[in-house]
Structure 1
Amino acid sequence: MPQEVISTTIMKIKHPEHEHELELKNYQKPYMCDGCKEHGYGSRYRCELCDFDLHKECMFTSPETYHEFFKESTFKFYNQSPGKCCIRNCDDCRRYCDACGKAINGFVYHCEAKGWDLHPCCRNLKNKIYIDGEKFRLSDKASKKCIWCKKKRVPNSVKGIPGWSYVSKSENYHFHVYCAMEMVLESWNNRPKDNNSCLALENLELPLQPNSSRSRGGSSKYLRIVKIFLKTIVTILLGDPTITLACLLVELVS
């Protein structure tokens, strides 16, 4: 399997999962990664001949990795799901990503000792994020409803896989990791038919309301923090930190 590479300047390279050389491309449109089978956007390693794409995170993997949320746990890379999930009481015994809650259909980092799984892009989610003086932390237990789906539990989640949320210290903000990606996909699907050049999040209206009366007094700051937070998380999940703010600007309607 390919080793983890820090440099982003490699333009052409072979991958064991594909017979042809892959070239670094940057098309401003979504794609489905042929490694992890999850959505991507923007830059990717691509074979034009075969219509084959890989996230950078799926192009350059590590034999082993770690995540601060799962302290003292080691994750090994697999190019396909390492069997069914039989140590947790989930609904269908498939493997699911413990970060976003979506099914594992391809490349995965798996902790054999605990049975945990992470998509290659999801493993880059930070345990803590600071935005405009607001501290967000990852949690798999939510006391507040997500300000997108209005639910505590991740939509379409399976039993035993709660999925991660980002919760602010003030408890004014709560986002499911799953919902951040759903917002992007919904925006793209609802874009004007003649708009093929940009991820049309500027057309997405989010009927968001602050979760407490304390935040309602500073609605402009509230919306600003949500915009920056969404851009931060979405660029990680899509595997392209170079996506511009203009393409990820969310028009929030409160």
Structure 2
Amino acid sequence: MKYGEKEITHFSHPQHKLRFEISEAPFKCDGCKEVGIGSRYKCNSCNFDLHKHCALPSPFKSHIFYPKCSFQFLPRTPGDIPRFCNACERDINGSVYHCKSCGFDLHPTCANLPSVLDDGEVKLHLYCKASEPCQKCGRKGRSWTYRSTCKKYNLHVACVREMLVESWQDIYLGHGSNSKKLETRIPNLKGTVQTNQQRNKGKVKKCTAIAGMAVQFIISALLGDPTALIAGVVGSLISKA
């Protein structure tokens, strides 16, 4: 199976084929159990959905932040102890990239986070640790971090993931009796982004808007599809929350 295939058979759902589609509505991935948006493989008969990273994973994956590690894709976490993602610090409840030698774990979407997010106006680079305070929590060393080229905006992946989970609004997929309630929700970001530039009130509005745009792009990457189109959809959902 390869990326770009319109229809696949997947071991986790052998009774029906999964078809590739682009969704502007959020869905819950039945592989990693995390929320998704955009590209997915879907069973229309069963409301079964997979991120493309979960449907067609690389069996093994390396990461620049862990040069000595070899991450193996597993359909579920190994062993009986709770495990958390070393990128976003949240629990892992489904499929995972696991390094047997060091015990590190990554959500599939976190393992595939782009090193650079760029929409032509905001450019964000991924770092293993923050060298400057995060715009959300005000602290430095915590989880992976996206930092703007201008070095004014720093956002922990963990903080954005928390915003994604803590501020959910109820969203229903489908229609009528076939509707499916999403167990996760799109975040309301109003008032969540803190800036250290509020002494100069003339710049606050612009700085907050740019920081909010940065959050939208990181959220879209965490949802599995870091494109301008999907970021725009995320932004519209946020504005309605």
After TM superposition, is the score higher than 0.5? yes
SS of the equivalent of 1:99 reads coil
- Corresponding residue of 1:17: 12
Pairing of 1:32-111 with structure 2 (within 5 A) = 32-83=28-79, 93-111=81-99
Q: 1:104 to 1:94 in 2, by over 3 A?
A: same
Q: Deviations over 1:140-198 (max 9, x none)?
A: 35652x333x35389xxxxxxx532334576532322122233344554178xxxx9xx
CA-atom RMSD in angstroms: 3.4
Q: 1:70 to 1:213 in 2, by over 3 A?
A: farther
What is the aligned counterpart of 1:166 among 141, 146, 149?
Answer: 146
Amino acid at match of 2:69: S
SS of the equivalent of 1:73 reads strand
User: In structure 2, how many angstroms separate the alpha carbons of the residues matched to 1:147 and 1:77?
Assistant: 32
- Corresponding residue of 1:152: 139
User: In structure 2, how many angstroms separate the alpha carbons of the residues matched to 1:207 and 1:59?
Assistant: 33
What count of residue pairs does the alignment treat as equivalent?
Answer: 223
TM-score when normalising by structure 2: 0.74
User: In structure 1, how many angstroms separate the alpha carbons of the residues matched to 2:72 and 2:170?
Assistant: 38
Deviates more, 1:126-135 or 1:227-236: 126-135
2:134 pairs with 1:139: no
User: In structure 2, how many angstroms separate the alpha carbons of the residues matched to 1:134 and 1:32?
Assistant: 28
- Corresponding residue of 1:87: none
What is the aligned counterpart of 1:226 among 207, 211, 221?
Answer: 211
Unaligned runs of 5+ in 2: 172-180
What is the aligned counterpart of 1:121 among 97, 103, 109?
Answer: 109
SS of the equivalent of 1:29 reads strand
User: In structure 1, how many angstroms separate the alpha carbons of the residues matched to 2:143 and 2:194?
Assistant: 23
Unaligned runs of 5+ in 1: 85-92, 155-161
SS of the equivalent of 1:115 reads coil
Amino acid at match of 1:61: P
User: In structure 1, how many angstroms separate the alpha carbons of the residues matched to 2:3 and 2:168?
Assistant: 30
Q: 1:139 to 1:248 in 2, by over 3 A?
A: same
Shift of 1:46: 1.4
User: In structure 1, how many angstroms separate the alpha carbons of the residues matched to 2:150 and 2:30?
Assistant: 39
